[in-house]
């Protein structure tokens, strides 16, 4: 049986969608003609595109990217399909059912809402973008996981002043992966997943290259 990789990452490019209020990312490119070399100078927030949040993003004494070994971002992950409410809220029910104790040891959960199909549209970062209800975040925080990934902007409502689900998840020491894409291409409910983040800046988070491994008789 062969194995293959599925890329779950949005590219970092000029004009890409960004969280409201972020300074605009800049990608200044030199070219072989006339500069003699092709090279890109990048200026952007660490929390842009498909990226990870370390606990230090919200927790004053939380782990930074420098504290977290790479294996905290990889391993068997359960794909959980969810249906957000009209306001975008995702309740705990799907996670309670999925994490019923009968699963093999898991490193993480990937929350699949289908919202990544809106990437590049105005409503991707809209008022009804999916988010995790604090009750859902609490269930995940108690599931003995290393990470939680999602195909939407944030575990909290976009632009919210208070961030309870961030605090619950990061406070439990979990790593978060936001703005995943292509989760609809995953055929199995448990996949081997990896988000390989940069070690950069103050270690609060970083863009990453996220991917999953599937098995198939191809």
Three-state secondary-structure class, residue 199: coil
Three-state secondary-structure class, residue 73: helix
pLDDT digits (tens, 9 = 90+) for 131-176: 999 999 999 999 999 999 999 999 999 999 999 999 999 999 999 9
| Residues 95, 206: Cα–Cα separation, whole Å | 27
212 occurs within a structural domain:
yes
Residues 58 and 170: beta-carbon distance below 8 Å: yes
Residues 218 and 11: beta-carbon distance below 8 Å: no
24 occurs within a structural domain:
no
Question: How many angstroms from the chain centroid is the CA of residue 175?
Answer: 9
Three-state secondary-structure class, residue 43: strand
| Residues 155, 104: Cα–Cα separation, whole Å | 25
pLDDT digits (tens, 9 = 90+) for 94-144: 999 999 876 778 999 999 999 999 999 999 999 999 999 999 999 999 999
Question: What number of other Cβ atoms are within 10 A of residue 163's Cβ?
Answer: 17
For 72-97, what is the mean pLDDT?
97
What is the pLDDT at residue 104? 74
Antiparallel, parallel or unpaired: β 108-112 and 147-150: parallel
Mean pLDDT of the chain: 95
171 occurs within a structural domain:
yes
pLDDT digits (tens, 9 = 90+) for 187-202: 999 999 999 999 999 9
| Residues 120, 16: Cα–Cα separation, whole Å | 7
Domain that holds residue 149: 2-9+47-216
Q: How many domains does the chain have?
A: 1
| Residues 196, 8: Cα–Cα separation, whole Å | 11
| Residues 168, 142: Cα–Cα separation, whole Å | 10
Q: Is there a cis peptide before residue 140, judged by omega within 30 degrees of 0?
A: no
> pLDDT band for position 1 (50/70/90)?
low
14 occurs within a structural domain:
no
| Residues 48, 178: Cα–Cα separation, whole Å | 9
191 occurs within a structural domain:
yes
Q: What is the CATH number of the domain that holds 108?
A: 3.50.30.50
Residues 40 and 216: beta-carbon distance below 8 Å: no
Q: Is the four-CA dihedral 93, 94, 100, 105 of positive or negative sign?
A: negative
What is the pLDDT at residue 217? 53
52 occurs within a structural domain:
yes
39 occurs within a structural domain:
no
pLDDT digits (tens, 9 = 90+) for 40-62: 999 999 999 999 999 999 999 99
169 occurs within a structural domain:
yes
């Amino acid at each position: 049986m062969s194995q293959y990789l599925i890329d779950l990452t949005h590219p970092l490019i000029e004009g890409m969608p960004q969280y409201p209020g972020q300074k605009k990312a800049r990608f200044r490119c030199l070219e072989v003609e006339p500069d003699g070399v092709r090279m890109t100078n990048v200026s952007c927030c660490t929390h842009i595109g498909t990226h990870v949040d370390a606990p230090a993003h919200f927790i004053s004494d939380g782990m930074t990217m420098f504290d977290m070994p790479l294996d905290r971002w990889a391993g068997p992950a359960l794909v959980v399909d969810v249906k957000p409410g009209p306001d975008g809220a995702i309740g705990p029910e799907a996670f309670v059912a999925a994490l019923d104790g009968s699963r093999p040891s898991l490193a993480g959960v990937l929350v699949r809402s289908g919202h990544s199909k809106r990437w590049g549209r105005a409503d991707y970062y809209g008022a009804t973008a999916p988010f995790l209800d604090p009750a859902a975040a609490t269930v995940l925080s108690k599931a003995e996981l290393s990470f939680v990934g999602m195909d939407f902007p944030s575990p909290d409502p976009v632009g919210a002043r208070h961030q309870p689900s961030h605090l619950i998840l990061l406070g439990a020491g979990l790593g978060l992966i936001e703005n995943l894409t292509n989760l609809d291409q995953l055929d199995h409910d448990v996949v081997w997943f990896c988000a390989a983040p940069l070690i950069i800046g103050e270690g609060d988070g970083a863009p990453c290259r996220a991917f999953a491994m599937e098995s198939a008789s191809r």
